[in-house]
Amino acid sequence: MIASPFGRRTPWLLIPNSPLFIFALSANFSYQCLAQCSQTKARAGVFFTPHGPVETPRFMPVGTLANVKTVTPAQLKDTGAQMVLSNTYHLHLQPGEAIVAGGGGLHKFMGWHGPMLTDSGGFQVFSLSEMRKITEEGVIFRSPHDGQIINLTPERSIAIQNTLGADVIMAFDECPPYPATRQEVEAATERTYRWLERCIVAHQRSDQALFGIVQGGVYLDLRSQAALALAQLDLPGYAIGGVSVGEPPELMAQIVQNTAPLLPPEKPRYLMGVGTYREMAIAIASGIDLFDCVIPTRWARHGTAMVQGERWNLKNAKFREDFAPLDETCPCYACQNFSRAYISHLVRSQEILAYTLLSIHNITELIRFTQKIREAILSDRFATEFAHWLN
């Protein structure tokens, strides 16, 4: 029996061939910490998966529909990407998990042969609030495509993810909005824990790592309770969810600084939906290993480049006759072959190539940022070299 800080006891036994037994013995996933900053909790390590290692800390590009928008898998590999995300809810709607499985599974279907992660559909509980109803059983959605009713339960989410075949799959959770009352957040946090219990029982594949998700809104005591409860379950990895949903950056920092150290140090820690420089640096200083965000490709589609911590709008007149590369220090295809003036011209002309080049650059920029932090941690320079982001 496993005691829960939420006041319940979970009747699990480690019996052979049960999902929990598989997690306890699985050799497919492991995390190795190589170095830790002497002044912060920042750490550099390696997360080992069946499709290869992921060096941490690391930014992971988002490919919601088995595609990082406007970028081919070959181009994505050249950015330095090691792990890519897709979304359970959206892939269930189109093309359907059966078709993905028929195409050889998610990796083969999209032509990406490195590690992959699928979100559970839990974020859509938040983002599609006008088209869903939450019950203890799960969430009833109305499809934005054709109005079809979709009943997504913890068991159904896990079954879809088992069929898709990503290396890491996420537990189905309820992501509360900001602002929300303590009573609302407490109910969502406890329901997320109960759903996680059901996800573990439903999970059928030892070659997929199921990560639990810590919820709790901006209430630090609820976050602590949730983190401690999840830590008892000995999952292959843990995520902090429900941030970057409208709360001030200061509150996000408090949540991460309070929660990350409570998660098992021998397991990877993932901060969901965060991909800005300062927030990643602060999170890494708290012990976070993995990040994802749609920002690099979304900003690219709006003609925006991320350059050494700044945000450049390529529609601005000053770039029309600027023949320097976006960033002379950047090794990406866009910076090595094209000028700011040319990319500005493409943006103004609404050429698709503009979005491809800016996506390639922006993804490379965020991966380089986490790579530089990793190198600084390995040589114990992180606290000094990245102090301007931490402060």
CA-based nearest residue to 348, from 363, 334, 358: 358
In residues, how long is the chain? 391
Contact 372, 358 (CB under 8 A): no
**Strand ranges for 162-257 from DSSP E:** 168-170, 209-214, 237-240
Catalytic residue among 119, 167, 173, 289, which? 119
Question: Hey, what amino acid is at 73?
Answer: P
Cα separation of 40 and 138, whole Å? 39
> Tell me, what DSSP letter sits at residue 25?
H
Cα separation of 347 and 355, whole Å? 8
Bond preceding residue 57 cis, omega within 30 of 0: yes
Contact 365, 297 (CB under 8 A): no
CB-side exposure of 378: number of CA atoms within 13 Å?
13
Contact 79, 68 (CB under 8 A): no
119 is catalytic: yes
292 is catalytic: yes
Bond preceding residue 179 cis, omega within 30 of 0: yes
Residue 36's beta-bridge partner residues?
A: 43
Catalytic residue among 221, 292, 322, 327, which? 292
Look at the block and give the residue holding tokens 């407490």.
Answer: 186
Look at the block and give the residue holding tokens 């992180």.
Answer: 382
Task: Give the alpha-carbon dihedral of 233, 23, 258, 252, to 10 degrees.
Answer: -120
Cα separation of 291 and 239, whole Å? 10
CB-side exposure of 318: number of CA atoms within 13 Å?
3
The set of catalytic residues is 119, 292
